[in-house]
Amino acid sequence: METAAMMAALDRQRIETPSWGYGNSGTRFKTFPAPGAARDVWEKIADAAEVHRLTGIAPSVALHIPWDRCEDWAALRRFAAERGIAIGAINPNVFQDDAYRLGSLAHPDEAVRERAVAHLLECVTIMAQTGSRDLSLWFADGTNYAGQDDLRARRRRMRAGLARVAAALAPGQRLLIEYKFFEPAFYFTDLFDWGAALAHAQALGPQAQVLVDLGHHPQGANIEAIVAFLLAEGKLGGFHFNARRYADDDLIVGSTNPLELFAIYAELVAAEADPETAACAGAVAYMIDQSFNIEPKIEGMIASVLNCQEAYAKALLVDRAALAAAQAAGDVLGAHRILVDAFRTDVRPLLEAWRRAHNLPPDPLAAHRSGAYLADITRTRPRASAASGYPG
Ligand code: PSV
Ligand code: MN
CATH, residue 300:
3.20.20.150
Position 383 scores a pLDDT of 65
Q: Compute, in angstroms, the gap from residue 191 CA to the centroid of ligand 1.
A: 13
Q: Compute, in angstroms, the gap from residue 178 CA to the centroid of ligand 2.
A: 7
Question: Is 390 a member of any domain?
Answer: no
Please provide the distance, in angstroms rounded to a whole number, between the alpha carbons at the two ends of the chain.
42
Percentage of the chain beyond pLDDT 70 is 97
The answer to whether the CB of 248 is under 6 A from ligand 1 is: yes
Position 1 scores a pLDDT of 79
Q: Compute, in angstroms, the gap from residue 236 CA to the centroid of ligand 2.
A: 15
Strand 86-91, strand 142-143: pairing: unpaired
Position 391 scores a pLDDT of 45
User: CA 297, CA 53: separation in Å to the nearest integer?
Assistant: 16
| Residue nearest atom 8 of ligand 1, based on CA coordinates | 138
Residue 163 has pLDDT above 90, yes or no: yes
Q: What is the mean pLDDT of residues 356-376?
A: 98
The answer to whether the CB of 390 is under 6 A from ligand 1 is: yes
Q: How many CB atoms lie within 10 A of CB 351?
A: 18
Q: What is the tens place of the pLDDT at every residue in 78-102? A: 999 999 999 999 999 999 999 999 9
CA distance to 9, 102, 138, 142, per residue, from 2 (Å) = 11, 54, 40, 49
Ligand 1 atom with least separation from CA of 64: 8
Residue 2 has pLDDT above 90, yes or no: no
Q: Which residues 6+ apart lie within 8 Å of 169 measured at CB?
A: 124, 135, 175, 207
Percentage of the chain beyond pLDDT 90 is 96
Q: What is the DSSP letter of 275?
A: T
**Residue numbers of the domain that contains 154:** 3-378
Question: Is 388 a member of any domain?
Answer: no
Question: Is 7 a member of any domain?
Answer: yes
Q: What is the tens place of the pLDDT at every residue in 294-323? A: 999 999 999 999 999 999 999 999 999 999
User: CA 347, CA 116: separation in Å to the nearest integer?
Assistant: 46
Ligand 1 atom with least separation from CA of 178: 6
Question: Is 56 a member of any domain?
Answer: yes
The pLDDT confidence band at residue 385, using thresholds 50, 70 and 90, is low
| Residue nearest atom 3 of ligand 1, based on CA coordinates | 138
Average pLDDT, the chain: 96
User: CA 131, CA 117: separation in Å to the nearest integer?
Assistant: 21
User: CA 392, CA 29: separation in Å to the nearest integer?
Assistant: 9
Position 14 scores a pLDDT of 98
Q: Compute, in angstroms, the gap from residue 388 CA to the centroid of ligand 2.
A: 19
Question: Is 290 a member of any domain?
Answer: yes
Q: Compute, in angstroms, the gap from residue 248 CA to the centroid of ligand 2.
A: 9
Ligand 1 atom with least separation from CA of 18: 12
The answer to whether the CB of 178 is under 6 A from ligand 1 is: yes
Best residue among 136, 212, 289, 297 to mutate for probing ligand 1's pocket (most ligand atoms within 8 Å of CB) is 289
Q: Total structural domains in the chain?
A: 1
Question: Is 359 a member of any domain?
Answer: yes
Residue 390 has pLDDT above 90, yes or no: no
CA distance to 228, 232, 264, 281, 373, per residue, from 274 (Å) = 12, 10, 16, 9, 42
Question: Is 214 a member of any domain?
Answer: yes
Q: What is the tens place of the pLDDT at every residue in 216-250? A: 999 999 999 999 999 999 999 999 999 999 999 99
| Residue nearest atom 9 of ligand 1, based on CA coordinates | 289
Alpha helices by DSSP H, listed for the chain, are 3-12, 41-55, 73-82, 110-130, 151-167, 194-204, 223-232, 258-272, 278-282, 297-316, 320-328, 332-344, 348-357, 364-370, 372-380
Residue 343 has pLDDT above 60, yes or no: yes
Question: Is 391 a member of any domain?
Answer: no
Residue 33 has pLDDT above 50, yes or no: yes
Q: Compute, in angstroms, the gap from residue 303 CA to the centroid of ligand 1.
A: 20
The pLDDT confidence band at residue 382, using thresholds 50, 70 and 90, is confident
Q: What is the mean pLDDT of residues 253-282?
A: 98
Identify which ligand lies nearest to the alpha carbon of 290: 1
Q: What is the tens place of the pLDDT at every residue in 182-202? A: 999 999 999 999 999 999 999
